[in-house]
Structure 1
Amino acid sequence: MQYYKVGNGSVVVMGDGSQSFDVEEVHNIMKQYLGRPYVWGGRKPAAGGFDCSGLLEYAFAQVGVDMYGTAQSQYNKTKPVSEEHIKPGDFVFFSTYKPGASHVGMYVGNGQFINANSSGGTSYSSVEEWKNLYPFLGFRRI
């Protein structure tokens, strides 16, 4: 598993082959939308942007993995992973505006996750910074 920044500042993530999907391929799909605005209910690029679950739903659909639904339904479709065993490709969940899972992103390594959020659109965020802002519901795996 690797996480590094190449000379042009882009993030490259390579999974270790233990996930049920190609982590790098899914990450590359999400990276195409970095900087796109947050759009409540946004599920496809044609919407102009994504919401958190929409970004994951769309990217995973491109590789044949059905993650259709809200952050809560994606939470329900995944299994918990202890923090000491997280890997790129695991999902990270928070409770932001209501009880239960209301925000989701994909862990990319080095304490970072890619997500669509209302303050930065599609971007990278720090797990620790989000833990200081919102109740952390944990890491989960498909």
Structure 2
Amino acid sequence: MKKQFIAAALGLTLMFSMGTGSVFADSSLNKVVKNTIGVSYKTGGTTTKGFDCSGFTKYVFVKLGLNLPRQAAAQYKTGTSVSKSNLRSGDLVFFNTTGKGVSHVGVYVGNGKFAHASSSHGVMVSPLSQNYFAKRYVGAKRVMSTSKFKAATYN
């Protein structure tokens, strides 16, 4: 009886922790992101042998059936602007890390977090509220239509 209770409690905990937008949820978007976590950073990288930030976002979206431009600044010119308060999984989030305009991009994964290729840690998930990113946040773009969004996040 005690083992059944523990198993049930663990199952409920896992179910609630894997909600919509979680990087570990069972969706096409999150599967692609999860499979790239820990891949090392490589300048110009566009494959699981190594990514730079825009190579990572391009890779993720190709896996979802969408083609993006290769560089972060060009990706920023695509899609529709969306406010930080209206972000949904799959939106691109942009940062000015060099002082010269858009220079870093990631994919919003929900719960205030985004996946990106960090030059120091490779592909990882970070909170938008992290001081470094909060100070450098430029904006977000929605590049997936509602039907693509549903296909990518509810599969």
Instruction: Check whether TM > 0.5.
Output: yes
Any gaps of 5 or more consecutive residues in structure 2?
1-15, 144-155
User: Who is 2:59 aligned against?
Assistant: 58
User: Who is 2:29 aligned against?
Assistant: 26
Residue 131 of structure 1: how far off its partner (Å) = 3.0
Greater fraction helix? 2
CA contact (8 A) 1:51 1:117 kept: yes
SS of corresponding position for 1:115: strand
Residue 12 of structure 1: how far off its partner (Å) = 2.5
User: Who is 2:136 aligned against?
Assistant: 135
Quick one: which amino acid aligns to residue 131 of structure 1?
F
What is the count of residue pairs matched by the alignment? 125
After TM superposition, what 4+ stretches of structure 1 lie above 2 angstroms from structure 2?
Answer: 10-14
TM-score, normalization by structure 1: 0.78
> How many percent of aligned residue pairs carry the same amino acid?
36
Distance across 1 between alignment mates of 2:32 and 2:69: 16
CA contact (8 A) 2:23 2:110 kept: no
Q: Deviations over 1:55-113 (max 9, x none)?
A: 11112112220113100111111221012211111111001124121101111111110
| Structure 2 counterparts to residues 1-142 of structure 1, below 5 A | 5-6=17-18, 11-13=23-25, 24-45=27-48, 48-129=49-130, 130-132=132-134, 134-142=135-143
TM-score, normalization by structure 2: 0.72
Quick one: which amino acid aligns to residue 133 of structure 2?
K
SS of corresponding position for 1:128: coil
Greater fraction strand? 1
